[in-house]
Amino acid sequence: MVVLRKIIYTGIPLSGLLVAGYTFSDVKILRNAMALSKGTKKSFDEHFPRGTWDDNWDFRSPDYLLNMEKYNNATEEEKRKMYQEVKATATRNILLIRHGQYHLDSEGKNLTPLGREQASLLGKRLAESGIKFDKLVMSTMQRATETANLILQHIPELQRCVHLEGPPYPPVPPVHHWRPQYSEFFVESARIESAFRRHIHRASPQQKDDSFEIIVCHANVIRYFICRFVVDKKYGQSI
């Protein structure tokens, strides 16, 4: 602030339109600085606006699951009971696993010997972790399917299912080896959003015990799931 005052008083413009030895933008800066010194401070949130928590980000919040007609006509004790019946009490633990190393120059992009070793060692580590896994979801693409099947050799009792994928968004910065048409992004990105809604959500009220689930997929899918979970793109809200 001392430097700013010195600049203004000597008539050297910083930016904007110079009037009588100082600028409109400089005057605004000075007034804000003087207001702060007089105690008229803005709150932290006013300086750094942020979104609000959307408790219904997965459309599974208790308020959304309640039968509001019955709830509004219930006694306070009945309301508490109804709320507890639709409130999730268990935790879903989801492990997002990228496929192993693969051949970039092959048509099927299957795993390299190192990639197969990576997947097998990971399966062994998971089997020895002491965690009881409930389900494994795998991508239909070959390198992810190979990785998942090598993991399943160590924990074969897992329930398994597949999910279709699609490119979520053009890569930034662009890459020379993968350039789908924009029409492909437009059509197939719906798959990855569908996968997010199907697999990334809180536990249902009927689930009583914590669960551990594995999703074997691709780096783009993991990035999409994490970013989609952390920030709601449409409203700019943290969820």
Q: Of 69, 62, 67, 64, which is closest to residue 84 (Cα–Cα)? A: 62
pLDDT at 39 over 80: no
Question: 224-228, long-range: CB within 8 Å, 24+ apart, which pairs?
Answer: 224/168, 224/169, 224/192, 224/196, 225/96, 225/196, 225/200, 226/96, 228/193, 228/196, 228/200
Residue 202's domain is classified under what CATH number? Answer: 3.40.50.1240
Most confident residue range from 32-36, 151-155, 176-180: 151-155
Q: Which of 15-19, 45-49, 55-59, 127-131 has the lowest mean pLDDT?
A: 15-19
DSSP symbol at 204: P
Residue 134 predicted with pLDDT over 50: yes
Which residues are known binding-site members for substrate?
Answer: 143
Select the more confidently predicted residue: 216 or 191. 216
Whether residue 185 lies inside any domain: the answer is yes
In a domain, 190, yes or no: yes
Predicted TM-score (pTM) of the model is 0.71
Dihedral-angle region of residue 67 (phi above 0 means left; psi in -120 to 50 means alpha; beta otherwise): beta
Q: What is the pLDDT of residue 9?
A: 33
Query: Are 16 and 26 within 8 A, CB to CB?
Result: yes
Give the span between the Cα atoms of 221 and 212, in whole angstroms: 19
Task: Flag whether 236 is in a domain.
Answer: no
Pair 112, 212 in one domain: yes
Percentage of residues of the chain with pLDDT beyond 70: 76
Tell me whether residue 237 is in a domain. Answer: no
Q: Examine residue 128 and state whether it is found in any structural domain, yes or no.
A: yes
Q: Give the domain-ending residue among 40, 61, 87.
A: 87
For 91-129, the pLDDT digits (tens) are 999 999 999 999 988 888 899 999 999 999 999 999 999
- Determine the pLDDT at residue 158: 85
Structural contact between residues 118 and 99, judged by C-beta atoms closer than 8 angstroms? no
Question: Are 81 and 95 within one domain?
Answer: no
State whether 69 and 146 are in the same domain: no
pLDDT value of residue 51: 67
| Contact yes or no for 226/105 (Cβ under 8 A) | no
- Answer with the one of 42, 67, 87 that is the final residue of a domain: 87
The Cα 131–Cα 125 span in angstroms is 10
Q: Do 185 and 97 fall within a single domain?
A: yes
Which one of 87, 114, 135 terminates a domain?
87
Q: In this structure, are 113 and 179 located in the same domain?
A: yes
Least confident of 36-45, 149-158, 201-210: 36-45
Does a structural domain hold residue 220? yes
Q: What are phi and psi of 217, to 5 degrees?
A: -150, -140
Q: How far apart are CA 130 and CA 202, in angstroms?
A: 23
Whether residue 69 is found in the same domain as residue 119 = no
What average pLDDT does this structure show over 8-12?
33
Q: Is the pLDDT of residue 20 over 70?
A: no
Is 149 part of any domain?
yes
What phi, psi does 213 have (nearest 5°)? -125, 150
For residue range 194-211, what is the model confidence (pLDDT) as tens digits?
889 999 999 999 999 999
For the segment 61-86, what is each residue's pLDDT rounded down to a tens digit?
A: 998 899 999 999 999 999 999 999 99
Same domain for 139 and 227? yes
Q: Does 35 score more than 60 pLDDT? A: no
Tens digits of residue pLDDT in 156-201: 988 888 876 777 777 778 877 777 787 877 877 888 888 899 999 9
What is the rounded CA–CA span in Å between residue 188 and residue 170?
12
Both structure tokens of 177:
């080896």
**Domain housing 130:** 89-231
Q: Are residues 145 and 163 in the same domain?
A: yes
- The arithmetic mean of pLDDT across residues 45-54, rounded, is 70
Q: How large is the average pLDDT for residues 127-148?
A: 94
- Token representation of residue 107: 């048509």
163 and 215 inside one domain: yes
108 and 145, same domain (yes or no): yes
What pLDDT, on the 0 to 100 scale, is given for residue 36? Answer: 56
* pLDDT computed for residue 114 by the predictor: 97
134 within domain boundaries: yes
Give the end-to-end CA distance of the chain in Å, rounded to a whole number. Answer: 38
Same domain (yes/no): 143, 95: yes
Q: Could you give phi then psi for residue 159, rounded to 5 degrees?
A: -65, 140
Q: 98 and 216: one domain?
A: yes
Query: What is the rounded average pLDDT of the residues 138-162?
Result: 92
- The total number of structural domains in the chain stands at 2
| Binding-site residues from annotation | 143
Cα torsion for 173, 179, 182, 183, to the nearest 10°? -160
